[in-house]
Structure 1
Amino acid sequence: MLHPRSRTSRRCAVAATVLALSTAAVAAPSTAAPATSGQSAVVVAAGQTWTVTRTTRLRSLTIRPGGQVVAPAGSSLTLTVDGVETGGVIESTGGEETVLRPGTYRGDVVLTVTGQNLVAWQGLTFPLRQALYVDGDGVDGSLSVPAAVSGRVTDSAATGLRVRSTGENFNGVYVAGGSYTLDRPDVSLTGNGRSDFVGYGAAVTATGGARLVVDDARITGHGAARTGVVADGGSNVIVKDSTIHTEDGTLPADYQSTVELAYMQQAPWMLGIVGNVRATNLLGDGTRATYVDSDISSEGWGVLSADVGSDGKLTAINSRVSTTGDEGYGSYAIGGTTEEFLGTRFDVDTYAAINRGGAIHYGDSDRASVAALNTSLDLRLSQRELRALDRRRTVIDSDRWGVMWHGSGSVSIDGGTQVRTGRATFLDKGQAVDVTVDGSDGAKLLPADGTLFQLMEDDDPGPVVVDGKLVNTGVYHEPTGEPTKVADFDVTAVHDDDAVLDLRDIDLTGNLYNGLRGNNPDGPFGPGVKGKNLVLTLTDATLRGAVTATRTRHRQDTITAADYRELGVVTNTPSPVVNNGVIVTLAGRTTWTPTGTSYLSKLTVGSRASVRGATLTVDGVATPLQAGRTYTGALVLTAR
Structure 2
Amino acid sequence: MRKRPGQLLLVLVTVLLPCSALTAVAEARALTDLTCGSGQTLLISQTIYMHRLTVAQGCTLAAPDGYSLTLTVNGIETGQRLTATGGAATAIQPGTYRGDVVLTVAQANAISWQGLLFPFRQALYVDNSGIVRARSVLAALLGGVLTATTASNVRLVSTGEAFNGIYVAGGSYLLEHPMISFQGNGRSDFVGYGAAIVGTGEGTRLVVDHAFINNSGAVRTAVVAEGGANVIVKNSTIAVRDGILPADYVPTVDLAYMESAPWMLSIAGNVRATNLLGVNTKATYINSTLSSEGWGVLSSDVGQDGQLTAINSTLINTGSEGGYGSYAIGDAVERFLGTTFDVATYASIIRGGTVFYGDSTPTAVAQLNSALDLGLSAHELAQLPVRATVINSRRFGVMWHGPGAVTVTGGTLFRTQEATFLDKGQAVTITVDGSQGARLLPANGTLLQLMENDDPGPVMVNGKLVNAGVYTEPSGLPVKDSSFDVTAVHSSDAVATFSQIALTGNFFNGMRGDMNMVLTFNKARLTGVISASLARHAVSTITSAHYQQLGEVSNTPSPVINNGVIVTLNAGSGWTVTGTSYLSKLVLAPGATLTAPAGHTLALTVDGVPTPIVSGQSYSGNIVLAVR
- TM-score of the alignment, normalized to the shorter chain, above 0.5: yes
Q: Distance in 2 between matches of 1:544 and 1:140?
A: 63
In the alignment, structure 1 segments of 5+ residues that lack a partner are: 2-17, 519-530
Task: State whether residues 516 and 566 of structure 2, in contact with CA within 8 Å, keep that contact through their aligned partners in structure 1.
Answer: yes
Q: Does 1:369 align with 2:364?
A: yes
Partner of 1:128: 120
After superposition, what is the alpha-carbon deviation per residue over 1:262-316, rounded to whole angstroms, capped at 9, x for unaligned? Answer: 1000000000000000000000000000001000110010000000101110000
Partner of 2:100: 108
User: Among residues 43, 53, 73, which one is paired with 2:45 in the alignment?
Assistant: 53
User: Among residues 11, 19, 30, which one is paired with 2:14 in the alignment?
Assistant: 30
Partner of 1:177: 170
User: Among residues 490, 494, 499, which one is paired with 1:495 in the alignment?
Assistant: 490
TM-fit CA distance, 1:31 = 4.1
User: Among residues 245, 248, 253, which one is paired with 1:259 in the alignment?
Assistant: 253
Q: Distance in 2 between matches of 1:171 and 1:82?
A: 17
Task: State whether residues 19 and 146 of structure 1, in contact with CA within 8 Å, keep that contact through their aligned partners in structure 2.
Answer: no
Task: State whether residues 3 and 49 of structure 2, in contact with CA within 8 Å, keep that contact through their aligned partners in structure 1.
Answer: no
Q: Distance in 2 between matches of 1:250 and 1:45?
A: 30
TM-fit CA distance, 1:26 = 7.3
Partner of 1:456: 451
Q: Does 1:318 align with 2:312?
A: yes
Q: Which amino acid aligns with 1:494?
A: V
Q: Which amino acid aligns with 2:237?
A: T
Partner of 1:602: 585
Q: Which amino acid aligns with 2:7?
A: T
The two structures have a TM-score, normalised by structure 1, of 0.94
TM-fit CA distance, 1:256 = 0.7
Q: Compared with structure 1, are the counterparts of its residues 456 and 337 closer, same or farther at alpha carbon in structure 2 (3 Å cutoff)?
A: same
TM-fit CA distance, 1:22 = 8.1
Q: Compared with structure 1, are the counterparts of its residues 200 and 22 closer, same or farther at alpha carbon in structure 2 (3 Å cutoff)?
A: farther
TM-fit CA distance, 1:32 = 3.2
TM-fit CA distance, 1:178 = 0.5
TM-fit CA distance, 1:45 = 2.1
Q: Does 1:145 align with 2:137?
A: yes
Task: State whether residues 41 and 60 of structure 2, in contact with CA within 8 Å, keep that contact through their aligned partners in structure 1.
Answer: yes
Summarize the alignment of residues 440-479 of structure 1 with structure 2, pairs less than 5 Å apart.
440-479=435-474
User: Among residues 391, 397, 401, which one is paired with 1:396 in the alignment?
Assistant: 391
Q: Distance in 2 between matches of 1:393 and 1:205?
A: 30
Q: Which amino acid aligns with 2:624?
A: V
Q: Which amino acid aligns with 1:329?
A: Y
Partner of 1:67: 59
| 2:154 alignment partner, SS class | strand
Q: Distance in 2 between matches of 1:31 and 1:532?
A: 69
> RMSD of the alignment, in Å?
1.5
Q: How many residues align?
A: 612
Task: State whether residues 345 and 395 of structure 1, in contact with CA within 8 Å, keep that contact through their aligned partners in structure 2.
Answer: yes
Q: Does 1:225 align with 2:219?
A: yes
Partner of 1:580: 563
Percent identity reads 58
Partner of 1:211: 205
Q: Does 1:298 align with 2:292?
A: yes
Q: Distance in 2 between matches of 1:72 and 1:21?
A: 23
TM-fit CA distance, 1:42 = 2.1
Q: Compared with structure 1, are the counterparts of its residues 21 and 413 closer, same or farther at alpha carbon in structure 2 (3 Å cutoff)?
A: farther
User: Among residues 246, 265, 270, which one is paired with 1:271 in the alignment?
Assistant: 265
Partner of 2:183: 190
Partner of 1:202: 195
Q: Which amino acid aligns with 1:48?
A: Q
Partner of 1:559: 542
Task: State whether residues 28 and 39 of structure 1, in contact with CA within 8 Å, keep that contact through their aligned partners in structure 2.
Answer: no
Q: Distance in 1 between matches of 2:113 and 2:97?
A: 33
Q: Which amino acid aligns with 2:14?
A: S
Q: Which amino acid aligns with 2:134?
A: S
After superposition, what is the alpha-carbon deviation per residue over 1:397-428, rounded to whole angstroms, capped at 9, x for unaligned? Answer: 00000000000000000100000000000000
Task: State whether residues 259 and 268 of structure 1, in contact with CA within 8 Å, keep that contact through their aligned partners in structure 2.
Answer: yes
Q: Which amino acid aligns with 1:122?
A: Q
Partner of 1:341: 336
After superposition, what is the alpha-carbon deviation per residue over 1:525-567, rounded to whole angstroms, capped at 9, x for unaligned? Answer: xxxxxx0000000110110000000001111111000100000
Summarize the alignment of residues 420-431 of structure 1 with structure 2, pairs less than 5 Å apart.
420-431=415-426
Q: Distance in 1 between matches of 2:93 and 2:484?
A: 62
The two structures have a TM-score, normalised by structure 2, of 0.96
Q: Which amino acid aligns with 1:363?
A: G
Q: Does 1:413 align with 2:405?
A: no
Partner of 1:511: 506
TM-fit CA distance, 1:29 = 3.2
User: Among residues 358, 371, 378, which one is paired with 1:383 in the alignment?
Assistant: 378
Partner of 1:549: 532
Task: State whether residues 80 and 93 of structure 2, in contact with CA within 8 Å, keep that contact through their aligned partners in structure 1.
Answer: yes
Task: State whether residues 550 and 573 of structure 1, in contact with CA within 8 Å, keep that contact through their aligned partners in structure 2.
Answer: yes
| 2:273 alignment partner, SS class | strand
Q: Compared with structure 1, are the counterparts of its residues 22 and 320 closer, same or farther at alpha carbon in structure 2 (3 Å cutoff)?
A: farther
Q: Distance in 2 between matches of 1:21 and 1:361?
A: 55
Partner of 1:12: none
Task: State whether residues 355 and 408 of structure 1, in contact with CA within 8 Å, keep that contact through their aligned partners in structure 2.
Answer: yes
User: Among residues 322, 331, 338, which one is paired with 2:326 in the alignment?
Assistant: 331
Q: Compared with structure 1, are the counterparts of its residues 391 and 42 closer, same or farther at alpha carbon in structure 2 (3 Å cutoff)?
A: same
Task: State whether residues 27 and 57 of structure 1, in contact with CA within 8 Å, keep that contact through their aligned partners in structure 2.
Answer: no
Partner of 1:591: 574
My pick for the range that moved more, 69-78 or 126-135, is 69-78
Q: Compared with structure 1, are the counterparts of its residues 623 and 77 closer, same or farther at alpha carbon in structure 2 (3 Å cutoff)?
A: same
After superposition, what is the alpha-carbon deviation per residue over 1:487-541, rounded to whole angstroms, capped at 9, x for unaligned? Answer: 21100000001000000000000000000011xxxxxxxxxxxx00000001101
Partner of 2:229: 235
TM-fit CA distance, 1:71 = 0.9
Q: Does 1:154 align with 2:147?
A: yes
Task: State whether residues 26 and 39 of structure 1, in contact with CA within 8 Å, keep that contact through their aligned partners in structure 2.
Answer: no
Q: Compared with structure 1, are the counterparts of its residues 627 and 111 closer, same or farther at alpha carbon in structure 2 (3 Å cutoff)?
A: same
Partner of 1:90: 82
Partner of 1:15: none
Q: Which amino acid aligns with 2:285?
A: Y
Partner of 1:528: none
| 2:144 alignment partner, SS class | strand
Q: Distance in 2 between matches of 1:475 and 1:622?
A: 45
Q: Distance in 2 between matches of 1:534 and 1:260?
A: 34
Task: State whether residues 464 and 474 of structure 1, in contact with CA within 8 Å, keep that contact through their aligned partners in structure 2.
Answer: yes
